[in-house]
Chains A and B, each alone.
Chain A
Amino acid sequence: MKNSNSIFKKITTIPLKFYAGILIFLPLLYIFILSFFRNDYYGGIIPDFTFDNYRMLIDVVYLKVFLQSFLIAFITTFICICISYPFCLIIKTKKETTQKLIMTFVMIPFLTNSLIRTYGWIVLLRKNGVINQFLMGTHLISSPLSLMYNYFGIVIGMVYTLLPFMILPLNSAVSKLDDSLLDASKDLGANRLQTFFKVVVPETLPGLFNGSLMVFIPAIGLFFISDILGGGKLMLLGNLIKNQFLTARNWPFGAAISITLIIITFIFVKLYKKIGGKMDDLGGGL
């Protein structure tokens, strides 16, 4: 009896230890160490301890990349919030089966390949794409608009790819919101904006923060969206890391950027836990 228990314990815990140790901890530790090394001209790594890689991050060129990335991630998150709140509040008023159906249809595109869906936007947004053709055909505009290869295209692509990550956690928070709370607020004379900011937002804060985390962080790293819809003109942190590892072959510098991103992520997660968010709910409660 006792013997079978200890074997069972071994079977259920040893693979986990190996997995967490070798495939999560070790790679991150290695990246951390790498970020203090130097590279040689041939892309090799020289194990000299240095802070240069982190010092390089303060260079104007790279600071600009940081700012650009954060700006785009911030705008993306903001737009996602602006779409998701009304969306979730509206479907809250629907029947339960309708709610389920609507959420399923939100999930479906999200489970298909994001790269392919991003590609679909090219057909829509190009100079001679569907949207410009439509607007010119209806004489709303006389010359085609630049809808991609700029900030606009990237933000559309980001919002499009990440929107479900906001809708899912927000919806589970909003659907748990007590209707009587909203009624009480109305009865006490609050208008709809007041109700929204004083009741809805505070009550759904963990969901909102969860969604923001799951939109903001990936938005920093999604290099293929800025490649495809930004035409590679706008460098985001994801592109910068990719370049350091594959083209410039300066792995230590790429590692330093990655470590910085991890630290930023951890700060966000700490904040999320501080306002009462649960770790298991992250990932959109997929």
Chain B
Amino acid sequence: MKKKYLHNLFLLLVFAFLYLPIIVLVIFSFNSSSLNIVFEQFTFRWYHVLLENRSLLEAFMNTMIVAFTSTIVSTIIGTISAIGIKKYNFIGKEFIQSLLYIPIVIPEIVLGISLLSIYTLFRLDLSLVTLIIAHITFSIPFVIISVRTILDSLPSNLEDASSDLGANKFKTFWYVTLPSIMPGITSGALLAFTLSLDDVIISYFTAGPDSNTLPLKIYSMIKTGITPDVNALSALILVVTIIILMTSTVLQLRKLRKETEL
């Protein structure tokens, strides 16, 4: 019994470690003192300050544009590529497949500077476009892996049956393959989206002066000094992502429970 207490205490400590900085940030974002040291009084002031900050709003819009565009593009390319890899043999397939692991394993900074170098080589000015291309680059491998895992688990005769019944490749893809790999596509897309929202390092090298994202903006704000409006902004971002994540997990768990009941 005592052992169980110790076990639970250990889990509790790990969770305290994981959540403490988040909780502290949220609490201090309501602190009236601008020094960020002692909690004085509850206030919404810093959130008002935020709403009046045009450049932050702009950074927020950029973050969303980049996240949505790169997710859509990388999900489409990732999905069809996963199918191509699964179904066909082509010249250099092995090599291409090993290239796909590179963005996953090498340090992000290396990917960031190599993209920056190639942009400079091609005389592309850094902008939202270069930023989006960079995000697509690091997202595609994750989508491919996620879709391929599901593809591997599908019975191969499913598509044969469809073509035996006279459907061509495209019809088979649209009516048979696509619906059955949907879970892999959604989880790949979700992953691409969160990776894009989270990215600091690669964006740091590939964003232009007019294409600041929120993380980059926060980074420069932290460097110039810690002010409560940074707390408010950070708290806001954290709480919103956590709510989205929790809702999606609850929905998933519910679906799982329903399926097991059936």
Seen from chain A, the residues whose Cβ lies within 8 Å of a Cβ on chain B are 1, 4-5, 7-9, 11-13, 15-17, 19-20, 23-28, 30-31, 34, 83, 86-87, 90-91, 93, 100, 102, 104-109, 111-124, 128-130, 133, 160, 163, 213, 217-218, 220-224, 227-228, 238, 241-242, 245-246, 251, 254-255, 258, 261-262, 265, 269, 279-280, 282-283, 286
| B238 near A280: Cβ-Cβ < 8 Å | no
Q: How far is the CA of A265 from the CA of B121 in the complex (A)?
A: 26
Chain B nearest CB, measured from A257 CB (Å): 9
Residues of B within 8 A of A261 (CB): 106-107, 110
Residues of B within 8 A of A27 (CB): 111, 114-115, 117-118
> B91-106: which have CB < 8 Å to A?
92, 96, 99-106
Which A residue's beta carbon lies closest to that of B79? Answer: A12
Which B residue's beta carbon lies closest to that of A22? Answer: B118
Given A12-B81, A282-B105, A116 and B25 contact (CB-CB distance below 8 Å): yes
Given A12-B81, A130-B24, A113 and B215 contact (CB-CB distance below 8 Å): yes
Residues of A within 8 A of B219 (CB): 115, 224
Residues of B within 8 A of A213 (CB): 105
Listed by A's residue number, 7 A-B pairs whose Cβ atoms lie within 8 Å are: A17-B92, A115-B200, A117-B22, A217-B105, A227-B223, A228-B222, A245-B113
| A221 near B107: Cβ-Cβ < 8 Å | yes
| B85 near A16: Cβ-Cβ < 8 Å | yes
**Chain B contact residues (Cβ within 8 angstroms of A): what range?**
35 or more
Q: How far is the CA of A9 from the CA of B87 in the complex (A)?
A: 8
| A114 near B37: Cβ-Cβ < 8 Å | no
| A87 near B10: Cβ-Cβ < 8 Å | yes
Chain A nearest CB, measured from B113 CB (Å): 5
| B7 near A113: Cβ-Cβ < 8 Å | no
Residue of B14, B37, B104, B168 near A282 (CB, 8 A) is B104
| B118 near A9: Cβ-Cβ < 8 Å | no
Chain A nearest CB, measured from B228 CB (Å): 10
| B22 near A31: Cβ-Cβ < 8 Å | no
Q: Interface majority SS on A: helix, strand, loop or mixed?
A: helix
Which A residue's beta carbon lies closest to that of B141? Answer: A283
Residues of B within 8 A of A283 (CB): 104, 142, 145
Q: Is B133 an interface residue (CB 8 A)?
A: yes
- How many residue pairs at the A-B interface have CB separations less than 8 Å? 230
Q: How far is the CA of A86 from the CA of B113 in the complex (A)?
A: 38
Residues of A within 8 A of B169 (CB): 4-5, 7-8
Q: How far is the CA of A137 from the CA of B38 in the complex (A)?
A: 12
Which A residue's beta carbon lies closest to that of B215? Answer: A115
Chain A nearest CB, measured from B6 CB (Å): 9
In the A-B complex, the 5 residue pairs with the closest CB atoms? A120-B21, A12-B84, A221-B107, A27-B114, A16-B81
Q: Is B131 an interface residue (CB 8 A)?
A: no
Chain A nearest CB, measured from B197 CB (Å): 7
| B170 near A104: Cβ-Cβ < 8 Å | no
| B113 near A90: Cβ-Cβ < 8 Å | no
Residue of A1, A4, A217, A223 near B201 (CB, 8 A) is A223
Residues of B within 8 A of A280 (CB): 145, 148-149
Q: Is B245 an interface residue (CB 8 A)?
A: yes
Residue of A7, A113, A121 near B241 (CB, 8 A) is A113
Residues of A within 8 A of B214 (CB): 113
Given A24-B137, A279-B101, A163 and B18 contact (CB-CB distance below 8 Å): yes
Q: Is B181 an interface residue (CB 8 A)?
A: no
Q: Is B61 an interface residue (CB 8 A)?
A: no
Q: Is B58 an interface residue (CB 8 A)?
A: no
Which A residue's beta carbon lies closest to that of B116? Answer: A245
Residues of A within 8 A of B88 (CB): 9, 12-13
| B241 near A218: Cβ-Cβ < 8 Å | no
Q: A11-B80, A90-B11 are in contact. List 5 more A-B contacts (CB 8 A).
A: A16-B96, A109-B19, A119-B25, A221-B201, A238-B201
Q: How far is the CA of A73 from the CA of B17 in the complex (A)?
A: 19
Q: How far is the CA of A220 from the CA of B108 in the complex (A)?
A: 10
Given A11-B80, A128-B37, A108 and B242 contact (CB-CB distance below 8 Å): yes
Q: Is B66 an interface residue (CB 8 A)?
A: no
Q: Is B59 an interface residue (CB 8 A)?
A: no
Residue of B21, B117, B205, B223 near A124 (CB, 8 A) is B21
Residues of A within 8 A of B85 (CB): 16
Q: Is B251 an interface residue (CB 8 A)?
A: no
Q: Is B246 an interface residue (CB 8 A)?
A: yes
Binary flags per residue of B114-144, CB closer than 8 Å to A gives 1, else 0: 1111100100000000000100110010100
| A112 near B22: Cβ-Cβ < 8 Å | yes
Given A12-B83, A87-B14, A116 and B218 contact (CB-CB distance below 8 Å): yes
